[in-house]
Amino acid sequence: MAEKQTEEKKSVLPSKSDFSEWYNELLLAGEIMDVRYPVKGLYVWFPFGFEVRKRTYSLIRELLDKDHKEALFPLLIPETEFMKEAEHIKGFENEVYWVTHGGKNELDVKLALRPTSETAIYPMYKVWVRSHADLPIKIYQIVNTFRYETKHTRPLIRLREITSFKEAHTVHATWDEAAEQVREATRIYQEFYMRLAIPTIVSKRPEWDKFPGADYTMAVDTLMPDNKTLQIGTAHHLGSNFAKTFDIKYEDAKGEQQYAHQTCYGISERSIAALISIHGDDKGLVFPPLVAPVQVVIIPILFGKSEEIITACRQVRDCLTAAGIRTAIDESDERPGAKYYRWEMKGVPLRIEIGPRDLKNNAATVVRRDSGSKESIPLGNIVEEVNKRFRVIHESLYERANSSLKERIFDCESIEEVKDKIQGGIARIAWCGERECGLAMEEAVGAGILGIPEGDMGSGTGNCPVCKKETGNMAIMARTY
């Protein structure tokens, strides 16, 4: 009977090959998000999901805190400020929620719920920036933002309330310094995603797809299991566009007034969408040890008299906990199989089983969540053995994700080939870089150009499929979220 119930439970999660169904079910079964909140595009973090968020965001905080300061600006932006930067307005006006009333009174000046915070932060930067000695300024905040998205909303991926918007806003003396900061931002994001074992591609967005008000946009993308790319971070060079509208000036060494140069860069809970989608499997969540809420679960294997085994399990738990390893012990009355199932769903990287035979050998059995592989390890060395496996698990998760990405990048020579290949991932094709050719390519393919990637992936030789000119630039195209 117990066996049968477990079997039935196992069928809750659809196979990952049916990605969309699998993703939706996993959010609930893995207790990440509850999608039943009665407003479209707004979702609820379960405590377990929120813990994943907390651990994930502590990684980005750690990276930023090296030379950024965390601050907090208001959620409400007066219409008068919001309407200052023409390009920015054009980009966001259809996505803004407006607060028009205070109680029954109509407000004199409408207030926007921030869709992003340039227009909340930069009026303050105008006051804060005085001299070149005040620069650079590097501030970030982690907040909720609101976007009235009209495309299909999806938990963690396209939200109307983005709950975990990490946005950094920097101010520099020169355009070149700001450009260096944009490079630094993409390096930080790549490092962040490395720690989540997620492979990324960095590319410069085509000029028609840049952030409203920016000189240019660099984007970080990853490839999801359903062969569509997800933009999981962006860094924008704002030039002095906002500095001019918000009058952000500094006095240079010669005593002359200069407009400042700015950047901003952001990520959201899409990072967690990528984390669970890329590593998860048919049994549920799979977490890299760095972010797993529970890193090790200990399951006592009991036959009859069990005192000794329970004691050994608790000793191991205490030992691992003392070493800073997040450890749980499952002493419930369920059968081991049911326990395995539950902790596998939760993505726990390592399971330790201790039964009579293990104890006799002064050993434990460890099972890796990512590969299912089983080994016997000596109890004497448990902390070291566990930490060693954490490193191996992290590396193999990254390797597996990275080969899966590489296998789904296809070199193409014609539009027809691109159309065919993007069903299976990312198409790489020569592009002269001209706007007209790029737009024609997007139109013909029915999908976007992500950009010309950094590094080797962005260079090669070929002819632009539209104007036929020879070029050394390779662009990547994909179906996107």
Binding positions for ligand A5A, rule: CB under 6 A? 116, 147, 149, 158-159, 162, 167, 211, 231-234, 236, 264-268, 270
Least gap, CB of 143 to Zn ion (angstroms): 41
Least gap, CB of 409 to ligand A5A (angstroms): 21
Binding partner of 147, given ligand A5A, Zn ion, none, CB within 5-8 angstroms per partner class: ligand A5A
Binding partner of 137, given ligand A5A, Zn ion, none, CB within 5-8 angstroms per partner class: none
Least gap, CB of 436 to Zn ion (angstroms): 7
Closest CA to 174 of 186, 182, 166: 182
Least gap, CB of 71 to ligand A5A (angstroms): 15
Single-letter amino acid code for the residue at 169: H
Query: Where are the extended beta strands (E) located within 224-295?
Result: 229-239, 249-251, 257-259, 261-267
Beta bridge partners of 174: none
Binding partner of 386, given Zn ion, ligand A5A, none, CB within 5-8 angstroms per partner class: none
Ordered DSSP codes for 38-71? SSTT--EE-HHHHHHHHHHHHHHHHHHTTT-EE-
Least gap, CB of 401 to ligand A5A (angstroms): 18
* Number of residues that this document lists for the chain: 481
Output 126 or 400, the one with its CB closest to ligand A5A. 126
Output 168 or 437, the one with its CB closest to Zn ion. 437
Closest CA to 264 of 243, 234, 240: 234
Output 162 or 377, the one with its CB closest to ligand A5A. 162
Q: What interhelical angle do 19-29 and 270-279 show, nearest 10?
A: 110
Single-letter amino acid code for the residue at 159: L
Binding partner of 85, given Zn ion, ligand A5A, none, CB within 5-8 angstroms per partner class: none
Output 51 or 167, the one with its CB closest to ligand A5A. 167
Rounded-to-integer distance, Cα 349 and Cα 351, Å: 7
Least gap, CB of 459 to Zn ion (angstroms): 16
Rounded-to-integer distance, Cα 430 and Cα 418, Å: 11
Least gap, CB of 470 to Zn ion (angstroms): 10
Output 81 or 167, the one with its CB closest to ligand A5A. 167
Long-range residue pairs from 396-402, CB within 8 A, at least 24 positions apart, any chain: 396/370, 396/371, 397/197, 397/279, 397/286, 397/288, 397/370, 398/194, 398/197, 398/198, 398/199, 400/370, 401/197, 401/198, 401/199, 401/278, 401/279, 402/199
Structural contact between residues 399 and 199, judged by C-beta atoms closer than 8 angstroms: no
Binding partner of 268, given Zn ion, ligand A5A, none, CB within 5-8 angstroms per partner class: ligand A5A
Rounded-to-integer distance, Cα 59 and Cα 80, Å: 36
Binding partner of 437, given ligand A5A, Zn ion, none, CB within 5-8 angstroms per partner class: Zn ion
Output 83 or 301, the one with its CB closest to ligand A5A. 83
Least gap, CB of 472 to Zn ion (angstroms): 13
Ordered DSSP codes for 427-442? EEEE----HHHHHHHH
Q: Which residue is nearest to ligand A5A (CB)?
A: 266
Q: Interaction with Zn ion in 430-469: which residues (CB under 5 A)? A: 432, 434, 437, 464, 466-467
Residues that bind Zn ion (CB under 5 A): 432, 434, 437, 464, 466-467
